[in-house]
Structures are given as C-alpha cells and as structure tokens.
Structure 1
Amino acid sequence: MPRHLCTTARSAAYTALLLALTVLLSLLAPMGTAQANPPAPPAATEDCPAFPLSAFGEAAPEGNTLTLPAEGTACYTFTVEKPGLHRLVKSGGNEVTITVHDGEEQVDCYDTDWGAGWCRLERTGAFTLRLTNSWDPSTVTFALTPLATDEGCTAQVPTDGNSAPFVARATAPTAVQCARLDAKPGERLTNTVTTTGYGQSTSWITDGTGARICPSRREDDNDGCVLPGNGPYRVLTQVTYAESGFPAEYTLKVRRISDPVGCTHVPLNTYNSAPTKVTPASGCKTFTAPRAGAYEVYGVDSSRTKLKVYDRAGKTVCSPWNGCELPAAGDYTVHTDDATLILDRASAAGCESAELGLYRSTFASAGEIDCVLLPLPAGARLAALAPLSGPAPRPDLTLFDARGAYVCGSDGLSDGTCALTGTAPFRLQASTDSADPATGPYPSRCTAPTPRAAARCSRPVTSPRRAHRPG
C-alpha cells in the first residue's frame, strides 16, 4: 500500500513537470523562429540618375548613351515642367525596351496609328524611365522631347508655290526639329521631307499640341491635309538615319495646294513641239483647260513623267497611274521643277497630215509627242509597224480618234487587228520614254490597211516640219 502511494506521487510529479516544460516550449518557440528567420531589411532605394529633357533641335544629352549587358536594366528620372505630349526617341539598341513610369504605374506611350514613343505626361513633377535589354549586350541612346511648346522653333516656313524649300540640318537621329508654318485653318497642305544624302526621315504637321493632326490614312484619293482646329501650326521633323552621318542636311517642302499662290502660268502645248520651260524656275505651275475631257500632263527632264493634277480646292483630279480626265474647264495646278508638256487630246493642234507609206521624222526635244493625221475613215483597219531593233530613239505608237479617245496601242497596230472606231480623222501619236538618246531621228514607221501592205511600204514620206517652237 505505501509503495503504491509513492508510485502515484512520483507519476503526478512527472506529469506536472511535463506540463510545465510544454508551456515553456510553447512560449519559447516564436522567439526561436524569429531568431532563425529575421525580417528582411527594407529594399535599398534605386540609384536612378536624373537626365534633362531635350529641346527642339537638340541631340540626346551625353549621359543618355549607355551599354546594357545581356538581360540588363537601367533607370533614370526626369522632371516635367509643362504637361502634354512628349516624343521618346531611341537610336541603336534594337533589343532594348524603354518604358516611362509615373510612380508605380506605367505610362502608355503607344499610339495606335503612329506606333511607339508618344508619351502623354499629364502632370508636372518627377517620372522614371526604365530600360530593359532582352538580348546580347547593346548600346542605346535615348532622348525625350516635349512637343507642346514652340520654344526652339525656327521662323515661319512659307507655303506659297514659288517659295524656296526650307533647308536645315538635323543634329542627331534623336533630335526633333520644329518649324512654324505660315498657314490658316481649312487650307490643304502637302508636306514632304528628303535628306540631301541617302537617309531616312519623317515629318508631321501639328498645332500647339505636337500631335499628328493629319489622318494616317486618306479616306479618299485626295492628297494633302486640310488643317483642322484654329492653329497656329507647325511642322516637326526627324532624320532617323543619315548614311554620311550627323549633322545631316534635309529639305522640307510644305505647299498649299488649295487656292495656290505664286505659281507660274504655263500654256497648253501642241503636238510636235518642245515642252515648256519657265524662267525664273518655279516648282508650281498652273494651266487653263478650255474644256472638260482627256488631257496628257507630264513633267519632262530627260524623259516624261506623268504628273498629279489638282483643282483650285486642292483636290486631286488626275493621278499618274490613271488617265487624266479633267472634270470641267478652268484652272488646274501641277507641282514640278521640270518642264511641262500638257496636251489636250481633243485638239489636233500641231499634228501633220501624211499619206500611207513610209514616214520619217525626228524627236527634236526630249519628251515631245509627235502626231500624224491619217487619211482613213471610221471602220477601216490599220497596221502601223516600227522596227523593234536599231538605233534609239525608237517610237511607241498609239492611235486616237478626233475626240482624243483611245483606239489602239502598239500590239493591235503591229498585228493589223486595229479597227478604226470613233470619229475621223484619226491621229497616230509617236513618243518615246528613252532617255539615251532622248532626241534624234527615229526609225521609219509605215501605215497601211493590212500588215502585208505595210511591210511592202517603200515610198518615203518625210515630215516637212523641222523647226520647233517652245510650247
């Protein structure tokens, strides 16, 4: 009995000791865990150096060129003083992505029409710019230019037809150039930029915002941009590549094609005559069409090039890839630095009459179009042959009726399948696109009712016309 009581007492003591140890361990456990896994210290602040924004015409700051290792990153900060559109431009670093952040939020710098690099920064203050390289080590230069300002813009660029083009130099591929425009709301303007040497460039018409205010896609076949809003207007330009390096010269030409001013009036030409040259030289020319109908409108240097034709409102009425049908009598405009050759296809002025047989003539001026009146009635069939080899220039032959309607080309004329439909007298036109040489006697051509008769032609019929008057 005493032994049993002693055993019971010892068991109770052990139980009490175990309970005490359990409570003690439960109190010590959190402290032990905290000692084994101490809280991480706050992340160190990123070292993002500040960079200045670029003004119009300025290259990227010196510190904005860096080499990123493979999968490397970098960050910078900048300060916006005037909210609005900013142009983010980079040079090199094809695998480098650049993003702009307002605090933790990434700024949308993508325009659905014009692509990346158009950042709307709508408040003043500090922003962060981050660069991420996704490939091999890469060197990149970047710049950020505020567009909603006219500080740094050059004097006004004229838009008159006879004004000299604006010539300037771009300092770097990251620079944005600015020029003010002498333009008013509602005017229709064209805008072209070319580098003096081989290169790549872009320009856009804008207002006070710096945004592209002209549509990216034309909804009709008309050239140019009808200026929206109230102005004032500017044109911004980038030369993104120059084979000869920077600074790179470029030429900017902005022309008002509605109600043009300063253009030189040129006459219509006649067949068998030289193209019209003007003095002093002018890149804008107007002509008067006596009637609606088919016309041929060319610029001529060493050979002919079809021109676009605009009406007084600046709308495109003729394009180079189509025939030119003017909708009404009146004044029209072309833009070219070259001589002009403008023919009314309903007129036979300058054409020479000839009998069937061998015919010889000469292109006395580059680009001229010769014309022969044929003594054949409507309903006849015609073959007109010209050698396919021999010395240049070699003429291309086309047949029109008295109203200027197309009848046959070289294929139908050479195989004798050309049926004379339309109104007599019919006109055979001879021309050449050859530029070497562009002038000189061309091989004889023969006209006859059938190919066999044409092949037997031997009686020469030489053109009496040799003197050329300016068109």
Structure 2
Amino acid sequence: MAATPTAPPASEAPAPEPDSTPPEPEPTPTDPAPEPTPTDPTPNPTEPTAGPTPSTEPTADACPALPLATLGDPGDAVGRVTLGPRGSACFTVTVENPGLHRLLLRGGYLSLTLSSGGTPVACPALDITPCALDAGTYRLDVVRPDAYSGEVQIAVVPLTAGPGCQGPVSTDIGAAPAAGSATSDLGIFCHSFTATPGALIKAYVRPASGTFANIHAWITDGTGKRLCNVEYDCVLPPGTAGTGDYRVLAHLSPSPVPYTVEVRRLSDPAGCAVVSVTAYGSAPTEVSPPASCKTFTPVRTGAYAVRRLGTSGDGNAVEMYAPTGRTCAASDVCSLTAGVTYTLVTDETVRILDQSSSEGCENVTLGQLHRGGLAASGEVDCVRLPVPQDARIAVQAAPAVDGVIPDVTVVDATGTTLCWDKETLSSGGCALAGTAPYRAIVKWGYPGPVTGSYGLVVRRTDRASDCRVLPAGDFGKESARATVLTGDGAFGDCLTIPANDHSTRELVRLTDAAGNATGDFTVLDETGEQVCGYS
C-alpha cells in the first residue's frame, strides 16, 4: 500500500484592486488547471504532491511520534499513555524500510487501527499477526473499549533483518543451546543461523529450567515471514535473495525470563557417528567416542527395526529423520530406502535390525525343543521356520530357570510382521501369509532379567502330526487320560484326538496332580482352525 505525505494546500489567486487602467480580462473557469479534490488518485508518497482536502479529524501531526523498536529489548522505543474507560489516543509511526512489522502492546484488551492518509491499513489483527507496511507515515489509533483504566504500552518492531539479532547459533546436533534473556514483553528476540537452502532444520525455544513463559516463535529469513514454526521439521527454502542466512524470531511473556535456543541440522549433520545393521544373535555395538547423533545408510530397501537402548531391556523408539523430515515416528519398524542417509538423534546405543535378513539366524526342528539365550542387553535372536507358505503354526516359548522371558514375533522374507501376540502364537493360530521363507525373532520380554536362557518349540498345526494320542475318557475316577510333564526345559506338549475314537462333543480338562485346573490349552481341527480352548 502507499502512505500519503501531507503537503501544503494550493494557494488562491487574490482579487485585483480597482485602478485607472482598464482591467485585464478575468480567466474563464476553463482556463486554470483544476485543483486536486479528494477523489483524485492517491499520489506516490515519494513525490511531493498536494495533499487531500483537510478534514475535521485529527491529523498524524497531532499524535506523538512512536519510534520503531529494534529487535531485542525495545529500550525507549515504547509508547506510553494512560487511558480511562473508553478512552483513546494516537501515535505517529514513520516507516523507512518496507516490510513486515509486529505491533506489541501491554495494558489490557485494546482496539488498534492503523491508517495512512486517512485510509485504514488492511491489517485487521494488528496485535496478533505481522503487518506488511510500505515506507511512509502512519497514524496508529488506540482505543480502550471497556470500563477499565490504566497505562498502555505499545511498540512497533520491524521483522526484517536489522540490528539487535544475536548469533549465529550453531546447527550441530551436539552443540550447546544458545542462551538468551527476554527482558520485555514488548520485544521480539532474534537469533541468526546459517544453513543451506533445502536443508532439514529443527529449532527449539525453551524457557530456562525452573521458569515459565508463553512462547511464540518461528524460523524466518531476512523478511521476517514465517517459514516454519519451531519444534516442527523445516526444509528451508532459499533465503532472502537466495542466501543461506536465516533467523529464529521469538516473543516470550511474561518477562523477564531466561531462555535457550537450539537449531539442529538434521540433513547431512555434523559430528554424528556412523552405525550399521546389528546381526541377530549379536550385541549392539557402542560407538566410540560417544556421539549425540548417528547416521545410518541402508544397503537395501526394506523393513528395519530401530531402537535406542538404555541400560536394560528392549529400549525405546528413536528420533529418526530422512532428508525431508521425520520418519518411523509412529513405529520402530518402518521401510527405509537403500542409499538414503538417515539421522538418529540420540546419545544412547542404537540397535538396527534388518527384518528381511537371516544373518545370524539358527535352524529349528518342528516339534523339538530349541534352547537359546540372550547373552547381552539388547541382543535379539532369530530362528528359521521350516514351513511353507500358507501353513499354520504354533510357537511356544518360555524362560529357562532364572532365564529371560522370550518375546516372539514371526515375520516373512520381506520382514513384514505376521504374528506377534502370545495368545495367537501359543494357540497355534499363526497363519503364514506373505512370502516364504519365514523366521521367528526372539527378544527380551517384560519383566524379568534382560539376559538368560529360554526354550522354544515350533509346531505345525494345519496337518497331522506325530503327537501322542489323547484316549477317550469318562467321568469315572480311573478315566483314561494323557500325562503332560513340565520342568527341565519342558513347558508344553501336543496331543492327537482321533476322530473315530471320540464323540462330536466332549469335555476337555487340564489339571494338575491334585485335580486343580492349570495351564492353557487349545483344540484345533485338521486345518489348524481353533475349535475350543482354555486360558
């Protein structure tokens, strides 16, 4: 928009005095150039022109000047006025360089109007959002619409690049945050940083420990416009005039309050350790020297399970970024692309499992006990399942004495998870869809020790097996029965119910030596579908 400077009004020609000479003919109404009227186009503010016809409204000259504040503490560039109930005041604001400006105020709910040459500026939410202003002189009207009284303080801050910006802030992930202090509610605080256009950046503005502040902050270039909010992934567009100079602008209240600013470059990061896939049956490798971030570049596209490991257990999800933003945010198993470098933000040891790999996996025999063990915290085992596509299986697992509780997941050749909950696996309802061959991944299960031995048995449930026969019984004390023994590594068994030796409806009970119900069992038909069970 254009701001209209005020020029002195055009003068009128004086009437001629009578004399003895014949008077010159007066100009006709069409001879002189017409004087400007209020309907003439608004003149260019850079050219001296006649101003609009004066009105009875107060002009900007009647309003005290409000100088523009710099970034940071506004200092003396604060307008102050005491307003009574429904009182009003005005200020004159002179803008030298066009661009975004932010109006900040303190003193209650107020109505703000900015105008130029009597024309309102199209910025309706002056106290909330920045306003783009051309160079020129403006009138700022402040009105208290309620019945309160008190002092009003107001500042106008240019958001374009200028004095008062601190920095530059390091973009290294391991760098210490920059410290700052918000000394006034009427200040916009600025921290610069340098980055390459197209880089993935994430910034944080936090009040110092033990303090509180409402924070409104964003990433910008030299214009002050919002490129991204802080705490969100930001792929930087080219900066002002194509440069790589960027800033973090922040407003914090109430003040004074100390704060920190952190800017992290998540694409092509500096100072990160390079990590690789952890083989099954092996302990995760710690990096040396320790680093606050890691980078991983997979050699093949597929499903990967990525975790950060603390002092014990299976660890937690890790903050991981692709070049365009965060990935694996909802799950620790996700598809990664070969040749793409991913950034993992953590100073803890990481474990990366290629779920489509069989490196380190062991073989098992159907129906026979497989003894395994996790020798180190964070270790994960793998066993190959000797069954074809569309088969149905049971995977029964239990800890050895003082051993680790095994947590089992069945995956196909691509690493896609097929079965994971204990009930489905132990009951024999795991259907092997997807692509063969199949594997069972074994890791620590809560609670219990993170290392130790375990036992595992894989049974195929969709075909006849070599399980012992369960004879038909009756309700007598000496009814025929089958004995199932546990202990010494044994924790499960299987029995066959011959169709020609039983009725169509029967009562099946599993009891201990004292006759008390104990343990879980499932009855399956010849296709592996569950018929009944107890748990």
Which residue of the partner structure matches residue 521 of structure 2? Answer: none
Give, in whole Å, the separation in 1 of the partners of 2:199 and 2:165.
21
Task: Work out whether 1:304 is the aligned partner of 2:316.
Answer: yes
Task: Work out whether 1:233 is the aligned partner of 2:233.
Answer: no
Give, in whole Å, the separation in 2 of the partners of 1:276 and 1:127.
66
* Deviation (angstroms), 1:86: 0.9
Which residue of the partner structure matches residue 220 of structure 2? Answer: 206
- Match of 2:167, SS state, is strand
Give, in whole Å, the separation in 2 of the partners of 1:431 and 1:91.
57
- Choose between structure 1 and 2: higher strand proportion: 1
Which residue of the partner structure matches residue 204 of structure 2? Answer: 192
* Contact 2:201/2:263 (<8 A) preserved: no
Which residue of the partner structure matches residue 147 of structure 1? Answer: 159
Find the partner of 2:272 among 257, 263, 266. 263
Give, in whole Å, the separation in 1 of the partners of 2:263 and 2:73.
22
Aligned residue pair count:
398
Which runs of 5 or more residues in structure 1 are unaligned? 1-41, 463-471
Q: Note the 1:249-398 alignment, pairs <5 A.
A: 249-255=259-265, 257=267, 259-301=268-310, 303-310=315-322, 314-316=323-325, 318-321=327-330, 323-329=333-339, 331-351=341-361, 356-357=368-369, 361=373, 364-365=376-377, 368=378, 370-378=380-388, 379-384=390-395, 396-398=407-409
Give, in whole Å, the separation in 1 of the partners of 2:85 and 2:396.
69
Cα deviation per residue 1:226-247 (whole Å; 9 max; x = unaligned)? 33551252213214346xx622
* Deviation (angstroms), 1:122: 0.7
What is the identity, as a one-letter code, of the residue corresponding to 1:249? Y
* Deviation (angstroms), 1:118: 0.7
Give, in whole Å, the separation in 1 of the partners of 2:121 and 2:404.
62
Find the partner of 1:166 among 178, 187, 209. 178
Q: How has the CA–CA distance of structure 1 residues 428 and 458 changed in structure 2, closer, same or farther, with 3 Å as cutoff?
A: farther
Give, in whole Å, the separation in 2 of the partners of 1:53 and 1:438.
65
Which residue of the partner structure matches residue 417 of structure 2? Answer: 406
Q: Which moved more, 1:137-146 or 1:405-414?
A: 137-146
Query: CA-atom RMSD, angstroms?
Result: 4.3
* Deviation (angstroms), 1:338: 3.6
* Deviation (angstroms), 1:305: 1.1
What is the identity, as a one-letter code, of the residue corresponding to 2:101? H
* Deviation (angstroms), 1:210: 1.7
Q: Which has the higher contact order (CA 8 A, sep 6+)?
A: 1
* Deviation (angstroms), 1:54: 2.4
* Contact 2:181/2:259 (<8 A) preserved: yes
* Deviation (angstroms), 1:444: 5.9
* Deviation (angstroms), 1:249: 1.4
Find the partner of 2:442 among 429, 447, 458. 429
Find the partner of 1:180 among 183, 189, 192. 192
What is the identity, as a one-letter code, of the residue corresponding to 1:304? N
Find the partner of 2:430 among 418, 422, 432. 418
Which residue of the partner structure matches residue 119 of structure 2? Answer: 105
Give, in whole Å, the separation in 2 of the partners of 1:92 and 1:116.
15
Which residue of the partner structure matches residue 16 of structure 1? Answer: none
Which residue of the partner structure matches residue 72 of structure 2? Answer: 57
Give, in whole Å, the separation in 2 of the partners of 1:204 and 1:79.
26
Which residue of the partner structure matches residue 77 of structure 1? Answer: 92
Give, in whole Å, the separation in 2 of the partners of 1:357 and 1:92.
77
What is the identity, as a one-letter code, of the residue corresponding to 2:222? G
Give, in whole Å, the separation in 1 of the partners of 2:87 and 2:269.
55
Give, in whole Å, the separation in 2 of the partners of 1:438 and 1:225.
47
- Choose between structure 1 and 2: higher helix proportion: 1
Give, in whole Å, the separation in 1 of the partners of 2:110 and 2:352.
53
Which runs of 5 or more residues in structure 2 are unaligned? 1-55, 462-466, 468-483, 492-535
Q: How has the CA–CA distance of structure 1 residues 185 and 373 changed in structure 2, closer, same or farther, with 3 Å as cutoff?
A: closer
Q: Which moved more, 1:291-300 or 1:334-343?
A: 334-343
Give, in whole Å, the separation in 2 of the partners of 1:44 and 1:215.
40
